[in-house]
Amino acid sequence: MRIFGIGRTGLAALAATALVAGAVLAQDAPFGMQIAARQGMMAYRALNIGVLAAMAKGEAPYDAAAAQKAADNLAAQDALDQSMLWPPGSDNSANPESTALAAMWAEGSGIMDKASAYADAVAAMQAAAGKDLDSLRAALGPLGGACGDCHKAFRVAQ
Amino acid sequence: MRIFGIGRTGLAALAATALVAGAVLAQDAPFGMQIAARQGMMAYRALNIGVLAAMAKGEAPYDAAAAQKAADNLAAQDALDQSMLWPPGSDNSANPESTALAAMWAEGSGIMDKASAYADAVAAMQAAAGKDLDSLRAALGPLGGACGDCHKAFRVAQ
């Protein structure tokens, strides 16, 4: 059986794709899938930065392997192609689920410089996290700063 | 200035971490951050599978480079350490935002076999997507099947 040029396995795959999509609650709103994905990426970052911050604050004992893993996770996450998550127009005015400001997409917004600064801060954390607690703490400031710079410029005030 | 053993840059980092966390709407509920992150990962998968499915259905012209990129994205996403996203107890009964069933964490649930089957299907898609449309279509069935197998077993009926 072929419908629209797709065999049965293809149809099964498409049904399964719909199942994937069904898991994402915000999917029906404009850019719902992109917004859910990027907020999920932010949550992934927060969970891993949380491991590092807990050690920095002394809430968790310093664990070189766990710190290194968290930093490596941040680097792997940042290396993912996320270009499809940020289509122009997918800001807070299109869908209030997003806290992204349209200013991010404006000519000369500097968003890519901020993204580079974040990547640099993650790389510095990768070099520091597994070394010792003082190195981890020293790298956390610039990392948090890079997060904050982008949020201050391009996120709805909270 | 040092408070609780953390210097000013450390405090700035922690404030920034809170900013990160603030972006995630579901964060306050139990396991909110983990659930947001894993639903975001599902959305990331759906967006990339969507690129492949659109070509398979003929809704988009076959583009070898774009298909390969989507398949490579699925592989890179799957390679991320996501162990911290699935703490036992973070199922639908703890937080209705999640559609994950507690059965996933039960002894002998077979979840890791299903995860391996998904990884295999992604690898097969990576080998096929950039080759030609027929190869892409042939790889989409098993990929969709791997998604569906896990959803059927471990997701709240929808």
A30-79 confidence digits (pLDDT tens): 999 999 999 999 999 999 999 999 999 999 999 999 999 999 999 999 99
d(CA A112, CA B36): 25
Q: How close does chain A come to B128, measured CA to CA in Å? A: 14
Residue among A13, A145, A147 whose CB faces B141 most closely = A13
Q: Kindly indicate whether the ipTM for this predicted assembly is greater than 0.90, answering yes or no.
A: no
Which residues in chain A touch residue B99, judged by CB atoms under 8 angstroms apart? 23
pLDDT of the residue at A16: 46
Residue extents of the structural domains in chain B = 1-29, 31-154
Residue of B nearest to A4 (CA): B57
pLDDT of the residue at B83: 97
**CB of B13 closer than 8 Å to CB of B21:** no
Which residues in chain B touch residue A19, judged by CB atoms under 8 angstroms apart? 147-148, 151, 155
On whether any CB of chain B is under 8 Å from the CB of A150, the answer is no
Span between the terminal Cα atoms of chain A, in Å: 54
Mutation target vs A (from B25, B44, B152; most A CBs, 10 A cutoff): B44
Q: Which helix (H) or strand (E) holds A134?
A: helix A133-154
d(CA A8, CA A19): 17
Which residues in chain B touch residue A8, judged by CB atoms under 8 angstroms apart? 141
A1 burial (CB, 10 Å; 0-12 / 13-18 / 19+) is exposed
A52 burial (CB, 10 Å; 0-12 / 13-18 / 19+) is buried
d(CA B58, CA B77): 26
**CB of B62 closer than 8 Å to CB of B128:** no
Say whether B24 and A5 touch across the interface (CB within 8 A): no
- pLDDT reading at A15 higher than 50: no
For every one of its 158 residues, what pLDDT tens digit does chain B have, with 9 covering 90 and above? 333 344 445 444 554 454 444 444 456 799 999 999 999 999 999 999 999 999 999 999 999 999 999 999 999 999 999 999 999 999 999 999 999 999 999 999 999 999 999 999 999 999 999 999 999 999 999 999 999 999 999 999 87
Read off the pLDDT band of A6 (50, 70, 90). Answer: very low
Residue B32, CB half-sphere, CA atoms under 13 Å: how many? 11
Which residues in chain B touch residue A69, judged by CB atoms under 8 angstroms apart? 81
**Tokens 């059986």 correspond to what residue?**
A1
On whether any CB of chain A is under 8 Å from the CB of B156, the answer is no
Read off the pLDDT band of A27 (50, 70, 90). Answer: low
Residue among A14, A43, A69 whose CB faces B81 most closely = A69
pLDDT of the residue at A5: 42
Classified as helix, coil or strand, B100 is: strand
**Which CATH homologous superfamily contains domain A31-154?**
Cytochrome c/b562 (1.20.120.10)
Classified as helix, coil or strand, A82 is: coil
d(CA A41, CA B40): 6
On whether any CB of chain B is under 8 Å from the CB of A48, the answer is yes
Averaged over A73-96, what is the pLDDT? 97
On whether any CB of chain A is under 8 Å from the CB of B83, the answer is no
Averaged over A18-29, what is the pLDDT? 54
Of residues B18, B22, B51, the one with CA closest to residue B36: B22
Of residues B122, B47, B24, the one with CA closest to residue A41: B24
Instruction: Round the CA-based radius of gyration of chain A to a whole number and report it.
Output: 19
Say whether B13 and A40 touch across the interface (CB within 8 A): no
**Tokens 């940042």 correspond to what residue?**
A78
